[in-house]
């Protein structure tokens, strides 16, 4: 098929230079950002005197301690979880959290099923909320009820489970928490992995490897947190006082508040937390609409603070102002043009391949654009597989490589809807697409308060 597409390209209209630029635009940005982050990750994680590279995004000078010393000097910590109507997944959750049961604190966020009752029957410390406040609001309530001597909190979701370099051992987590406490950082982001098989899970798995191991791994001490993270208890309590408590991009909002306050956040590659990811394409689509609605919402709320924080910090400026502000937000219309061009180019190639004669021969339907963009993303996925992904995971994620181009290009649709939802909610009072995160009335009130 690719040979035929190439022959059609030679016989069809001559490709336009401007259209070629649009076709390779998104992939070129990804390659540029990929290699720049590789360089910065290497620079940021280099240990003194060339003795190797740290497993954290910034080397931690916390000393050397035996397991016994760690256990003796570890300050009290807690695993905190917000659940809502989670009855069906409770058995799996309780099994996964069993090694940490003594540290577990749960808030039931006004479930309408038997979640709270079953947690209490299982002997889990469970605070029952009377109003469904979503995760940030629920955690704010829970933080205030923890034992006062708890210094560190591990925020988990009910569908996640903690792994480590040697499996699920408490000692692995204790060592990571101990080093975190000694570092005096405000928060730490672990690596998130997607469990289960299937092409969608593997595509997300490859994406998460790039996002966490390389993306967060390159950010030194101004990393962003995810929905699963470790916080200094006082830092989390403080930021929740000024948090909008919106479910949209609540973890990004956490990071912006901490970084704007002069705190620092790092990435820890040794601590791995598995999550289910989106299980269906419909769920994935709704998830991404919500993610990018949250991105533009939080970014617009925090922009002035980001400008102040970025002064004198070159890579902070690159990531939060250039990459996020320019590449991701301002240049999205060009990515939308690229998506339209890829669609027409693919349609033209398939039409010629099948001899249907339904698609007119014109520059926008020339198969060359699709071929170049596909090859570009195929090379990118192969490079990412061998440079970023650990050896033991490569074989499992390899089937995602041929489809990564389609996965990346298709993402343009939910991203666009996420941005459009933000504009339409602010100015028209409705959404083009209702994602699964929040109802219309609550969201409208949040945006109104945020605008004030």
For residue 10, name the pLDDT band (cuts at 50, 70, 90): very low
* DSSP notation for 161-195: EEE-BTBS-HHHHHHHHHHHHHHT-SEEEEEEEE-
Q: Which residues face 190 on adjacent strands?
A: 268
Which distant-in-sequence residues (6+ apart) come within 8 Å of 113 by Cβ? 85, 87
Pseudo-torsion of CA 430, 434, 436, 440, nearest 10°?
Answer: 20
Task: Assess contact for 177 and 100: CB atoms under 8 A.
Answer: no
CA distances from 156 to 83, 107, 147, 394 (A): 10, 12, 18, 27
- Is the per-residue pLDDT at 50 higher than 90? no
Cα angle value 148/154/159 (rounded, 5°): 135
Q: Which residues face 165 on adjacent strands?
A: 167
Cα distance between residue 65 and residue 101, in whole Å: 25
- Give 389's Cβ-side CA count (13 Å radius): 27
pLDDT (mean) for 137-154: 94
- Is the per-residue pLDDT at 147 higher than 90? yes
pLDDT (mean) for 155-173: 73
Give me the architecture of the 51-280 domain, per CATH: Alpha-Beta Complex (3.90)
Per mean pLDDT, which range of 6-10, 18-22, 38-42, 284-288 is the poorest?
6-10
Name the average pLDDT for the chain.
88
Domain residues of the chain, as ranges? 51-280
pLDDT (mean) for 377-395: 95
Give the model's pLDDT for residue 4: 44
Cα distance between residue 174 and residue 271, in whole Å: 10
Cα distance between residue 177 and residue 160, in whole Å: 18
For residue 442, name the pLDDT band (cuts at 50, 70, 90): low
Q: Which is more confident, 404 or 440?
A: 404
Pseudo-torsion of CA 65, 68, 74, 77, nearest 10°?
Answer: 130
The 10s digit of each residue's pLDDT in 175-197 is: 999 999 999 999 999 999 998 77
* pTM given for the model: 0.90
Exposed, middle or buried by CB within 10 Å (0-12, 13-18, 19+), for 258? Answer: buried
Task: Assess contact for 251 and 227: CB atoms under 8 A.
Answer: yes
Percent over 70 (pLDDT), the chain: 92
Q: Which is more confident, 171 or 188?
A: 188
pLDDT (mean) for 326-331: 96
**Greatest CA separation found in the chain?**
76
**How many residues in total does the chain contain?**
452
Give the model's pLDDT for residue 106: 93
């Amino acid at each position: 098929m690719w040979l035929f597409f190439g022959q059609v390209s030679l016989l069809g209209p001559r490709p336009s230079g401007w259209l070629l630029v649009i076709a390779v635009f998104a992939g070129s940005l990804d390659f540029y950002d990929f290699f720049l982050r590789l360089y910065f990750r290497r620079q940021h994680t280099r240990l003194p005197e060339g003795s190797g590279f740290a497993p954290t995004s910034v080397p931690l000078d916390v000393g050397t301690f035996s397991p016994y010393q760690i256990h003796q000097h570890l300050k009290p910590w807690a695993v905190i979880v917000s659940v809502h109507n989670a009855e069906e997944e409770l058995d799996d959750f309780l099994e996964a959290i069993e090694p940490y049961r003594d540290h577990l604190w749960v808030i039931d966020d006004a479930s309408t099923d038997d979640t709270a009752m079953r947690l209490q029957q299982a002997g889990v410390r469970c605070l029952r909320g009377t109003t469904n406040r979503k995760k940030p609001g629920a955690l704010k309530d829970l933080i205030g009820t923890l034992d006062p001597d708890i210094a560190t909190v591990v925020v988990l979701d009910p569908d996640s489970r903690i792994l480590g370099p040697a499996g699920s051992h408490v000692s692995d987590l204790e060592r990571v928490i101990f080093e975190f406490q000694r570092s005096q950082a405000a928060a730490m982001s672990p690596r998130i992995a997607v469990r289960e098989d299937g092409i969608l899970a593997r595509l997300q798995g490859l994406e998460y490897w790039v996002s966490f191991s390389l993306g967060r791994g390159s950010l030194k001490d101004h990393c962003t947190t995810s929905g699963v993270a470790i916080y200094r208890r006082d830092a989390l309590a403080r930021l929740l006082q000024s948090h909008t408590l919106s479910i949209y991009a609540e973890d990004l909002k956490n990071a912006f508040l901490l970084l704007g306050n002069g705190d620092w956040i790092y990435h820890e590659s040794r601590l791995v937390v598995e999550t289910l990811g989106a299980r269906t394409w419909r769920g994935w689509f709704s998830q991404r609409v919500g993610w990018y609605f949250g991105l533009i919402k939080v970014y617009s709320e925090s922009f002035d603070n980001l400008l102040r924080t970025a002064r004198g910090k070159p890579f902070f400026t690159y990531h939060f102002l250039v990459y996020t502000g320019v590449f991701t937000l301002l240049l999205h219309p060009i990515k939308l043009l690229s998506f339209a061009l890829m669609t027409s180019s693919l349609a033209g190639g398939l039409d010629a391949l099948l001899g249907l004669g339904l698609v007119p021969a014109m520059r926008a339907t020339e198969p060359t654009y699709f071929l170049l963009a596909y090859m570009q993303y195929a090379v990118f996925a192969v490079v990412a597989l061998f440079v970023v992904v650990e050896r033991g995971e490569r074989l499992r994620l390899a089937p995602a490589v041929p489809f990564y181009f389609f996965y990346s290009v298709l993402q343009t649709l939910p991203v666009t809807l996420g941005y459009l939802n933000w504009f339409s909610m602010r100015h028209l009072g409705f959404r083009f697409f209702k994602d699964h995160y929040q109802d219309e009335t609550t969201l409208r009130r949040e945006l109104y308060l945020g605008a004030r």
